[in-house]
Amino acid sequence: MNPDRRNRQVHDALDQWLLEGQIDNAAHSRIGELYPLTRWDWRSLGRWFLTFGAISLATGLLLFLREHLTFTLAKLAISLSVLTLGLFVVGRWLPRKGLKMLGSTAELLGGFSLIGVSIAAGMIYSDGSGNWPALLLIDFLVLLELSYALGNVLLLTLCSVLFFVWFGGCSGYVSGWGAYWFGMNYPLRFLGVSLALVAAGGVHLRCEAELPARYSGFAKVWISYGLFVAEMSLWLLSLFGNYDLIDRPWHLADDGELLVFNLLWALVSLGVLAVGLRLRFGMLVGYGVTFLIIQLYTLFFTQLAETLGWLASLLMAGGGSLALVIWLESQRQTRRVAISDA
């Protein structure tokens, strides 16, 4: 039997069992992952394209308005407020016509428009403090509530971006340092916050069977965002150490400190990989493998490349990458054959 056809039959049976209450959502998802319908996760890819399209459209509209229309700040704030309300109304109306994804995208555009409203209002009522991150904090809190009220995972993704920019802005620009993302002033702060984010995702995942279906995917956003922030923090800590003072020469961290953070980073990535393999959670496996590879390449280029010479180093790095890709592809083909023969 054709593997795709067989997998479709399995998914149809799983859907029927779920409707009849014979299995829960967690079992449905776990078993379904073993029988992929396509080689590519088109639904996930579609979400990314929708997100990119929403950002591009919002940016284009703002540029068009700026270039062809003359607004005072007050008129701009009012116009954006009307646009925000309209987008959220359309976002609620489209799913009734069977266009759920487009409805979610309209609400995402509404989220971007709401950020524009807060920025315009902030410029109108500015007291000269320059505390722009406070506006993003307000947007984050409002959109977080809307994400759950509307059950929109795209809005929750926007919230994660807002939180990163707000938190970095508070501890970066406002502190007077200005290094921001690469400084992440300071990495340990982000590492601590990431633990709370992953914990929130874990609670979501544990309660997924009891939560309404509209919250499907929320756990992955929390966990993915928390892991990304943690891994990026550990990457910076492994390179520069814990530069916890603005006037400290961060590039002079001693070898012992860098070794500790490198070991911690490796343990975290290995732990994420182990948990992902144990739970058959592909996202965790992807994070673990990706950042282990990044760490190996980072160590290679920071510790060995200068000694070996750049020509030899690039040849070794490129050859290693090709060998890794070939091995991963062979493993994927082996798994596909095993599934089709089962």
232: amino acid identity, one letter: M
CB 169 within 8 A of CB 132: yes
Q: Residue holding tokens 């029927």?
A: 16
- Provide the pLDDT confidence category of residue 114 given band limits of 50, 70 and 90: very high
* pLDDT digit string, tens, across residues 209-238: 677 777 878 888 899 999 998 988 888 888
* pLDDT digit string, tens, across residues 127-178: 777 677 888 899 999 999 999 999 899 999 999 999 988 887 776 655 555 5
Rounded CA gap, 68 and 264, in Å? 53
Rounded CA gap, 121 and 145, in Å? 20
Helical H segments across the chain, by residue range: 3-20, 25-32, 42-68, 73-93, 100-124, 133-150, 153-171, 180-183, 187-206, 218-240, 255-279, 282-299, 305-308, 310-341
Which pLDDT does position 28 carry in this prediction?
A: 73
Which pLDDT does position 144 carry in this prediction?
A: 93
- Provide the pLDDT confidence category of residue 342 given band limits of 50, 70 and 90: low
43-52, 175-184, 276-285 — which one is most confidently predicted on average? 276-285
Q: What's the angle, vertex CA 68, arms to CA 63 and CA 72, rounded to 5?
A: 85
Q: Please indicate whether residue 52 or residue 179 has the higher confidence score (pLDDT).
A: 52
- Provide the pLDDT confidence category of residue 85 given band limits of 50, 70 and 90: very high
Which pLDDT does position 140 carry in this prediction?
A: 93
Segment among 20-29, 31-40, 243-252 with least mean pLDDT: 243-252
Q: Please indicate whether residue 330 or residue 39 has the higher confidence score (pLDDT).
A: 330
Rounded CA gap, 8 and 29, in Å? 14
DSSP secondary structure, 147-206, as one string: HHHHT-HHHHHHHHHHHHHHHHHHHTTTTT---HHHH-S-HHHHHHHHHHHHHHHHHHHH
CB 152 within 8 A of CB 215: no
Average pLDDT over residues 113-121: 90
* Tokens coding 267: 């343990």
Q: Does the pLDDT of residue 71 top 60, yes or no?
A: yes
* Tokens coding 54: 């929403």
Q: Please indicate whether residue 63 or residue 115 has the higher confidence score (pLDDT).
A: 115
Q: Does the pLDDT of residue 309 top 90, yes or no?
A: no
Q: Residue holding tokens 């160590």?
A: 299
Q: Does the pLDDT of residue 180 top 50, yes or no?
A: no
114: amino acid identity, one letter: L
Q: Does the pLDDT of residue 183 top 50, yes or no?
A: no
- Provide the pLDDT confidence category of residue 38 given band limits of 50, 70 and 90: low
Q: What 3-state DSSP class applies to 95?
A: helix
